Amino acid sequence: MTDLQPICALGQSAPQARRIGALLLSQNTALGLASLAMRRRAEPPQIGLPLPGPGGWVEGADCAAFWTGPDQWMVEFPGRAAEDVASALTARAPGCSVSEQTDGFVAFEIEGDTPPLLALISRLVNIDLGRFPPGSATRTGFHHMSVFVIRRAEDRMAILGMRSAAASIWHGLTEAAERLEALT
């Protein structure tokens, strides 16, 4: 039998990270994801945090969630990618529809001082950053792909996209960061 070795979405055995100027770009391979949808006439689930409305992202003690559509959210479980997060969420949200999403998505975290962070994001996606404070999330286009952009804090953002597009997203991020750094 072949000796299989797990690899990250970018094809390496370890997650990629790269500092470009004032920005740190890194692949977050430890993020567990599950989608949550309320069924018709269901009571809102109690998952340990208030589920956000349109354009919102909320962080709780052991999970975070962002709105993806009417009565639908993506729930993030930091540090729990190797676990069955869908089962854990189903236990918290009985009567809701839950689907495992961890292996379908790739997450890239971007950290840095606010001006270069916003300058990078403004070159990559069509978001009014003046109306995108910490606690915001949206779905938008990125190099002809659809991604979720999350403003985790004043100095931290995340981009979540399809795992099959990981290399294209990473290329777009690093190329834009390099061009931005060349301008300074």
pLDDT tens figures, 154-170: 999 999 999 999 999 99
Query: Distances in Å between the alpha carbon of 84 and those of 81, 109, 137, 177?
Result: 8, 22, 24, 35
Buried b (16+ CB within 10 A) or exposed e, 124-133: bbebebeebe
Determine the CATH number of domain 17-29+105-183. 3.30.1360.120
Q: Residue 147 in contact with residue 140, Cβ under 8 Å?
A: yes
Is pLDDT at 1 greater than 80 in this prediction?
no
Looking at residue 44, what is its pLDDT?
Answer: 84
Task: Assign 47 a pLDDT band (cuts: 50, 70, 90).
Answer: very high
Q: Residue 165 in contact with residue 10, Cβ under 8 Å?
A: no
Domain borders along the chain are 17-29+105-183, 32-103
Predicted TM-score (pTM) of the model is 0.94
- 106-142 per-position pLDDT tens digit: 999 999 999 999 999 999 999 999 999 999 999 999 9
Q: Residue 180 in contact with residue 169, Cβ under 8 Å?
A: no
Is pLDDT at 59 greater than 70 in this prediction?
yes
